[in-house]
Chain A
Amino acid sequence: MSSDHIYLDNLLDHYRNPRNYGEIKNPDFVIEDANLSCGDEVKFFVKFDKNKNVIEDIKFVSRSCAVCKASASILTELVKGKPISFVNSLTKKDVLNFFGGRIDPSREKCALLPLRALQSKTKAIEEDSHKNQKDLF
């Protein structure tokens, strides 16, 4: 079998046994996003420590292809216990590195959906806190 594809052991492992899969009761926030054009949907549940600005706990559910699900699974492992500044510092390149550094252009959207979803919230939080700091001075 040719191994010139992205469904390598790491991806398949996260697809078959997604980490942090499921819901959190009483989350501090829930984030949902979808690539409607291909039918990928992902939903994150986040416990957030406002004082420390840290993601205390995170889980997800998805209705999606393997690339999107594995990407979300790897992402939750990466960001759990981390400050949101870390989440916001993650880039497309970091996600592609989950999959050995390259991904077919047609599948990039699938891989990037989870990070885009999560950052839509974490970036807003960071901006708000900057604004509040400015207000203090």
Chain B
Amino acid sequence: MFDPNDIRHDFPILNVKVNGKPLIYFDNAATSQKPKQVIEAIENFYFLKNANVGRSIHTLAEEATELYFQSRKKVADFINATPEEVVFSSGTTESLNAIANVVAEKFLNPKDIVVTSILEHHSNLLPWVKVCKEKSCALKVVNANKNWTINIEKLEALLKEGAKVVSLTHVSNVLGTINPIKEVSKLVHSYDAILVVDAAQSVPHMPVDVKDLDCDFMAFGAHKMLGPMGTGVLYLKKRYADLIEPWNLGGGMIKSVKLLNEVPELSCCKVTYEDTPIRFEAGTPNVEGAVGLSAAIDYLSKLGMNSVLFHERQLVKYLLENLKGNSFEVYGPKDENSITGIVSFNLKGIHAHDVAYLLDKLAGIAVRSGHHCAQPLVNILGTVATVRASFYIYNTIEEINAFIEALKEVEKMLK
């Protein structure tokens, strides 16, 4: 186990004062803070190694290309994939959009069924709404069971009806509940359907092994796991990587482009794409982002993902004990062992925005309030907005104590 107080020295932003108070950052599900090691890795890239990758043959370009390759290898090892299966993107949202588009193009026909769930972030719902409309497919949103994970019976019923694609979040960004992806993938594959997993909230907080989970596609981003914004990952199982056509076209992703006729005006082009994953990364990639993500993975690996999850659950346990009073409505399971470091709640009778605003102004505490880009789920919880506290490696029990005191102050003010 690690001591969060040691870790805090690595995060310069934690020394910032907000409204005269030391920042207490409980908005990690939105984005995490970045340690010096990540910021320095990006800085070093630009100070010492900057060149375009996969093109020129000068020394600097070779070094940058090697760095980019190593970053991909680092990501692959972290999730137990092979480098060929790891495509860099701009983030979870871009990965999910690309997946929805290529899966639809390649595997969906009119009247096919696509399944998603009530637990989804809008970024794993809206792309499917779009492609289902375009392809005249039916999108089915499966409800959660009483533990706020996907209702497996309902899912199986849809698979029996012939559902072709299931796209599911690994961890709910509102409730922190963890879907049993391994069990789901067995089921989905027993019906020869495809499983897509939104891992934006799982990869940063718990061990994730794509071979063990056996999903076909997976998406996550760097910025929620100590890495930089604008960088993400699209994992595609080798089998699919070979079947799918590139969705972005341009420089750096071809073996050859040849004119078929000597007279250019009369000609058409014959294009041969690079192998996967290069064929899926047209244009100059975000090398600084990949390098930053690689440094973030080093940082997390040193702590160990089991320890990260354990630490978050200790914080959740302590917070849940303190939210037991009848001033609070807590959403989702009240057992820290079935969730990651996310707690959604309301102060009864008080709007979440009032709570979040005053926590910030009175106590320098950053939380999220609203529907968290998961409006259908928040409505099913019976509200329009929740306060969401989400933890990471640098959060402490002392911060939660300050949070609870601040909540009492807010309640006094608005009751």
Contacts and interface: CB of A to CB of B under 8 A. Distances in A.
B19 interface: yes
Interface string A34-60: 001111110000000000000000000
B371 A37 contact: yes
Given A64-B351, A66-B414, A7 B358 contact: yes
Interface residues of B, number: 20
A45 to B, nearest CB: 22
Nearest to A63: B384
Contacts of A31: none
Contacts of A107: 353, 357
B414 A15 contact: yes
A127 interface: no
Contacts of A104: 357
A66 B19 contact: no
A5 B362 CA distance: 8
Contacts of B385: 38-39
Contacts of B413: 7, 12
7 contacts: A2-B19, A5-B357, A7-B358, A7-B413, A7-B414, A37-B371, A107-B353
Given A39-B371, A66-B414, A4 B354 contact: no
B361 interface: yes
B251 to A, nearest CB: 39
Nearest to A62: B351
A65 interface: yes
A1 interface: yes
Interface in A58-111: 63-67, 104, 106-107, 110
Interface of A: 1-2, 4-5, 7, 12, 15, 36-41, 63-67, 104, 106-107, 110
Contacts of A4: 19, 361
Nearest to B373: A37
A87 B357 CA distance: 29
Which among B350, B353, B370 has the greatest number of chain A C-beta atoms within 10 A? B353
B20 interface: yes
A110 B361 contact: no
Contacts of B358: 5, 7
A44 B81 CA distance: 58
A39 B384 contact: yes
Given A39-B383, A39-B385, 11 more contacts: A2-B19, A2-B362, A7-B414, A15-B414, A37-B370, A38-B384, A38-B385, A39-B371, A65-B351, A67-B354, A104-B357
B221 to A, nearest CB: 22
A78 B370 CA distance: 30
Contact of B354 (A37, A41, A63, A66): A66
Contacts of A66: 350-351, 354, 414
Contacts of B414: 7, 12, 15, 66
Given A5-B357, A15-B414, A66-B354, A39 B370 contact: yes
B353 A65 contact: yes
Nearest to A41: B384
A111 B384 CA distance: 18
Nearest to A5: B361
A126 B153 CA distance: 57
B351 A39 contact: yes
Interface string B403-415: 0000001000110
Contacts of A39: 351-352, 370-371, 383-385
Contact of A38 (B19, B350, B370, B383): B370
Interface in B373-415: 375, 383-385, 409, 413-414
B345 to A, nearest CB: 15
Nearest to B353: A65
A1 B353 contact: no
Contacts of A36: 375
A39 B361 CA distance: 21
A20 B304 CA distance: 58
Given A5-B358, A39-B384, A110 B19 contact: no
Which among A5, A39, A64, A110 has the greatest number of chain B C-beta atoms within 10 A? A39
A2 B357 contact: no
Contacts of B370: 37-39
Contacts of A41: 384
Nearest 9 pairs of A and B residues by beta carbon: A39-B384, A5-B361, A65-B351, A65-B353, A39-B385, A66-B354, A65-B354, A2-B20, A2-B19
A36 B373 CA distance: 12
B309 to A, nearest CB: 31
